[in-house]
Structure 1
Amino acid sequence: MLVQLAIRDFAIVDSLDLELHGGMTAITGETGAGKSILLGALGLCLGERADAGSVRHGAERADLSARFDIAALPEAGAWLAERELAADECLLRRVVTASGRSKAWINGQPATVADLKALGDHLIEIHGQHAHQALLREETHLRMLDDFAGHSAEVTSLSALYRDWQDKRRRLKRLSEDGEEIQARRQLLRYQVEELDQLALGENELKALEEEQESLAHAEETLREAQFAAECCDNDEAGALHLLNQAVLRLEPLPGSDRGALADILSMLGDARIQVEEASRELHRFAEHTELDPERLAWVEDRLGEVHRIARKHHVMPEELCGLHQRLRQELDGLEGGEHDLETLTTELQALRDQWRQKARGIAEARREAASRFGNAVQEQLAFLAMGKASFKVEVENRETPAPNGLDAVRFLISANPGQPPRPLAKVASGGELSRISLAIQVVAATHSTIPSLVFDEVDVGVSGATAEIVGQLLRRLGESGQVMTVTHLPQVAAQAHQHLHIEKQADADTTLTRMALLDSAGRVRELARMLGGVTLSDRTLAHAREMLDASQHPTH
């Protein structure tokens, strides 16, 4: 419920703090006094478009705020909680500068205009004086019927299904259009990966092959030289070992004093003889284990040749083949997955289409059932509004082309006179009739609204007399279960209100300002007398106003 509206430097209002209550509140004043300013300020707080003309002349900015009690609005509370803005109350604030720029806040945190609009949909409903124009559009008829039926959540779910369905349809179309190019790439990758699979080059195999080829290619030369070296070590007549033995044999017999001086030399020759003997044994062992394997050499060289050939074919170095193989395999897996995606999308698309149609058929049945109840409810209100002979009907027609909100077209039809078939509102209703029809529809819609705060902006245009009194009674009845604010020019309507706000324009030589006040009983009588048409408030007019107010506030039935 709207509990406070604060206005600073907006239009011709310098400062206004308005406390609001439940029930029905009438807002009245002379033409041009600024009744629309109140709703304009509220509209800006709810995200309507702002411009520099909103700022009071001479001021730098307009500052507007609306405070709501959201205890009975769980959807608004959930919206705030999702954005970590939860509180016991909801404060919307909008500042518009003289240059036309604006800023917005929700519970003290910066917000966008779109945020204000989205949250505002959970806080209050405004039925404007031009609402009957919206009633000429069929999309309005569908929305109002869904709100009346109470399955707006199901329609929202249906719309989400439709968006998902259409998104998958577009993705499937793109995949299908790209199919030939993707298929060609897939075939090439399959061939390339299969070729590299057959090559099956190990991670470190290339280096091992190159080392083995080097060894095998020089095996014969290595064996020959090893054997020659062994012969140099242990040949019986000219080998190093034989010569070392001869040297030792010559030095050992030397006599006396020379024997001591040669001891170290003889030790070194002994060590050398041991080293040569060991080298000789190792050379013979090496020669014995060195084999000439031309077949293995041929296989290794063929294997290396194949590796280099495929590397050249892919324009990479041989050592890059393993990485290339992995990349091509990953790309192929991705495309194979895309082929799977195509099949999966086709299946999912069919499932979504079937799910959407099943849900749409269920909603269509609910709409047809609700259409009868809605039509009867509006018919009943029309009877109250002196149009008892009119016939109102809600037509629900199936259409072939799917839409986000289903397969139904909804039309409000009216026959203002007996014997005439119902026709669309725009084609048969006069201005006065359309105002009353619009009011009847809005009252029915508001009765079934989940939002307890309702604003009616001169929706009683075109009615008068006893019908105007009935309009007031309808609005008062709505206010008894929530909050109703109505801008009106009709005393019969204003008299029905639980509280009465009066707006007046005060002007002097320099400025024109709007003032607003909550009227007491005496003030209400004077205002009703003024609305009854008295330029001068005579005793008779005041008595009539007092009688009207007493009858409205203390009905006998």
Structure 2
Amino acid sequence: MLTSLYIKNYALIDELNVQFNNGLTIITGETGAGKSILLGGLSLVLGKRADLSQVKTKDKKCIIEASFDIANYNLKPLFSNLDIDYDVQTIIRREILPSGKSRAFINDTPATLDSLSMLSLHLIDIHSQHQTQQLTENDYQFRVIDALADNKENLEVYAQKRAEYKMLQKSLKALIDSKAELIKEYDYNLFLMNELSEIKLESINLEDLEAQYEQLNNVEVIGEKLASAKGILNMEDQGVIDQLNAIKQELNKISGFGKVYGAIAERVASVHIELNDLLVELDDLEDALSTDPQELERINSQLQILNNLFQKHSVSQIEDLISIKNELESKVSDTEGLDDAIKKKEEEITNLKKELNNIAGQISKKRKTILPILTQKLEGLLSDLGMPNAKFKIELTEGERFLLNGKDNLQFLFMANKGSSFNELKKSASGGELSRIMLAIKSILSEYIQLPSIMFDEIDTGVSGEISNKMGDIMKQMSTRMQVFAITHLPQIAAKGNSHFKVFKIDNNTTTETQLKRLGEDERVVEIAQMLGGMNITESAMAHAKQLLN
């Protein structure tokens, strides 16, 4: 509940500090006295954007501060989400600086206007004739029905499941789109992968393959050169080996004449042995030579394939081709595996859809249970408010789509008079009728849920006599469950208040100021008498005022 309001340097208000109680608080004052200024200041702490033109003295700071007792509002989770310290006595302050900038604080913590707006929804509802238009909106009608039907928990579960359902649908679409894209490339990727797989890249050593090709391609030249080399080594009398043997014999004859000659003789002997070994190896190589045109063709073909693949994929190493093959295998596998992924995702969606349908069914069932009660209560209250022939027809039909609050479609139909037909509220109810319907709905809601403080801003316009008395009774009854403010011009309603404030203007030498004063009992009699008969108060007006107050 709103416990206090402090306003400084705002519009026609120099400084104002007022305390409020629970129950029904009445605010009266002549037209133009400044009731709208009071509401404007309160709207600023509830998140409305500030305007420098609202500041009374431009070179001074404007301050509006409101205190709320929120002990029974269960708002700790909201404060936690907003990252603001929780206090059962919460203070919201707005400041408009001479520069035009504004600042907001919740319990001395800087806050954004979005934070103020989110919090204010749970603190106070300023209700004017203009706001009765929300009655004609489907969303608001659903909120009323669901509040009475106690659907809060079901709607929270439904919202969570619906969000999961939307995400799964999005994921499924992404998979289907991916499949469509991959299918376009699938055949080509499969061809490239098979082309690389057929050559068995892992078993190929390119250097060895190129060496084999050079050997087979040059077998005659190799044989010729090997034979020539052998001839040079082994030619009788003139060959290198025979000549080296002669050298060895000569040196052996002097090897005993000193170590140096012995060492030379040993080295020549070693070379002689090495040349003999080399001759044997050349024999082996010559014997191993063979002409194999088919093998040469096979190796040549394999090298040609490899060279083509190197050019096609712009690489030069076998290892690079193996990496490309592995990547292609992965793409082909992904494409082939998408069908399984899509099928699995579709099964998840089907299962979640069943859950959503079940929860939506529970929500709808509870709504349908409460509709006759809501209709009966509304028609009863409206009869008291001078609309005895008002009738409602509230119809729920299940649709196909998962909407934000279930699958129901709602028709909130109204008939004001006998003989007319049911029609939508916005087409069949006047502004005054909508005000009374809204009052009735708020009254019913207050029986089922903890509503924030509510301020009715002249919703009694155009109402008089016994109806205004009934309207006051409804507000009075509501105030036993919540804090209610009523800005009114009707004495019948003003007399119902637990406390009564008067808004008025005073003229100083150079300025006009708006003031707000709590009225004592005698002052209330005078104020209500003036509301009844004007500024010239008669004895009958005073008597009538006292009668209303009693």
Q: Which band: TM-score by shorter chain?
A: 0.7 to 0.9
| Offset, 1:440 | 1.4
CA 1:119 to 1:329, structure 2 compared with 1: closer, same or farther past 3 Å?
A: farther
Name 1:535's counterpart in structure 2.
535
* DSSP-derived class of the 1:398 partner: strand
* DSSP-derived class of the 1:532 partner: helix
Distance 1:525 1:287 in 2: 139
| Offset, 1:87 | 1.9
Name 1:80's counterpart in structure 2.
79
Equivalences for 1:114-513 in 2 at 5 Å?
114-155=114-155, 157-158=157-158, 161=161, 165=165, 182-202=182-202, 205-207=205-207, 209-210=209-210, 213=213, 237-238=237-238, 242-251=242-251, 253=253, 259-260=257-258, 263-278=259-274, 280-281=276-277, 284-285=280-281, 288=284, 291-292=288-289, 294=292, 298-314=297-313, 316-317=315-316, 319=318, 320-387=320-387, 389-398=388-397, 400=399, 402=401, 403-417=403-417, 422-429=422-429, 432-513=432-513
Distance 1:249 1:304 in 2: 53
Distance 2:21 2:6 in 1: 15
Q: Contact between 2:502 and 2:519, CA under 8 Å: does it hold in 1?
A: yes
What per-residue deviation string (whole Å, max 9, x for no partner) do you get for residues 200-248 of structure 1?
A: 3229844554455456666776677667667766777455565455335
What per-residue deviation string (whole Å, max 9, x for no partner) do you get for residues 404-424 of structure 1?
A: 333434344444455666554
Distance 2:40 2:276 in 1: 112
* DSSP-derived class of the 1:202 partner: helix
Name 1:554's counterpart in structure 2.
none
What per-residue deviation string (whole Å, max 9, x for no partner) do you get for residues 498-555 of structure 1?
A: 3333322233353333222334444444433433334145666555545544x3xxxx
* DSSP-derived class of the 1:135 partner: helix
Distance 2:425 2:53 in 1: 36
What per-residue deviation string (whole Å, max 9, x for no partner) do you get for residues 375-420 of structure 1?
A: 1222332344344x33432411326463433343434444445566
Distance 2:449 2:514 in 1: 33
What per-residue deviation string (whole Å, max 9, x for no partner) do you get for residues 9-53 of structure 1?
A: 333334334444433322222222222223323333333455454
| Offset, 1:444 | 1.3
Length-normalised TM-score, structure 2: 0.82
Q: Contact between 1:186 and 1:336, CA under 8 Å: does it hold in 2?
A: no
Q: Contact between 1:374 and 1:394, CA under 8 Å: does it hold in 2?
A: no
Q: Tell me the number of residue pairs that the alignment of Structure 1 and Structure 2 aligns.
A: 544
Q: Contact between 1:501 and 1:516, CA under 8 Å: does it hold in 2?
A: yes
Q: Which amino acid aligns with 1:200?
A: K
Q: Contact between 2:8 and 2:16, CA under 8 Å: does it hold in 1?
A: yes
* DSSP-derived class of the 1:500 partner: strand
Distance 1:314 1:345 in 2: 36
CA 1:334 to 1:282, structure 2 compared with 1: closer, same or farther past 3 Å?
A: same
What per-residue deviation string (whole Å, max 9, x for no partner) do you get for residues 97-133 of structure 1?
A: 6787655555555554433333333333333232333
* DSSP-derived class of the 1:9 partner: strand
Distance 2:203 2:476 in 1: 86
Q: Which amino acid aligns with 2:151?
A: H
| Offset, 1:342 | 4.3
Distance 2:468 2:317 in 1: 95
CA 1:423 to 1:180, structure 2 compared with 1: closer, same or farther past 3 Å?
A: closer
Moved more, 372-381 or 532-541: 532-541
Q: Contact between 2:446 and 2:482, CA under 8 Å: does it hold in 1?
A: no
Distance 1:7 1:17 in 2: 7
CA 1:148 to 1:98, structure 2 compared with 1: closer, same or farther past 3 Å?
A: farther
Name 1:37's counterpart in structure 2.
37
Distance 1:450 1:223 in 2: 107
Q: Which amino acid aligns with 2:154?
A: E
Q: Contact between 1:54 and 1:96, CA under 8 Å: does it hold in 2?
A: no
What per-residue deviation string (whole Å, max 9, x for no partner) do you get for residues 145-203 of structure 1?
A: 22222214534554565566566657766876887664332222222223223333229
| Offset, 1:374 | 0.9
Where do 5+ consecutive residues of structure 2 fail to align?
none
Distance 2:275 2:255 in 1: 33
What per-residue deviation string (whole Å, max 9, x for no partner) do you get for residues 289-312 of structure 1?
A: 784474665544332222223334
Q: Contact between 2:2 and 2:66, CA under 8 Å: does it hold in 1?
A: yes
Give % identity.
30
Name 1:23's counterpart in structure 2.
23
Q: Contact between 1:5 and 1:17, CA under 8 Å: does it hold in 2?
A: yes
What per-residue deviation string (whole Å, max 9, x for no partner) do you get for residues 37-96 of structure 1?
A: 23323333333455454444635765444443433232x321221343242255544455
Q: Contact between 1:9 and 1:61, CA under 8 Å: does it hold in 2?
A: yes
| Offset, 1:372 | 0.9
Distance 1:288 1:135 in 2: 107
Distance 1:201 1:362 in 2: 63
CA 1:78 to 1:281, structure 2 compared with 1: closer, same or farther past 3 Å?
A: same
Q: Contact between 1:443 and 1:474, CA under 8 Å: does it hold in 2?
A: yes
Distance 1:298 1:148 in 2: 90
Q: Which amino acid aligns with 2:405?
A: N
CA 1:278 to 1:157, structure 2 compared with 1: closer, same or farther past 3 Å?
A: same
| Offset, 1:267 | 1.0
Distance 2:511 2:337 in 1: 74
Distance 2:506 2:204 in 1: 95
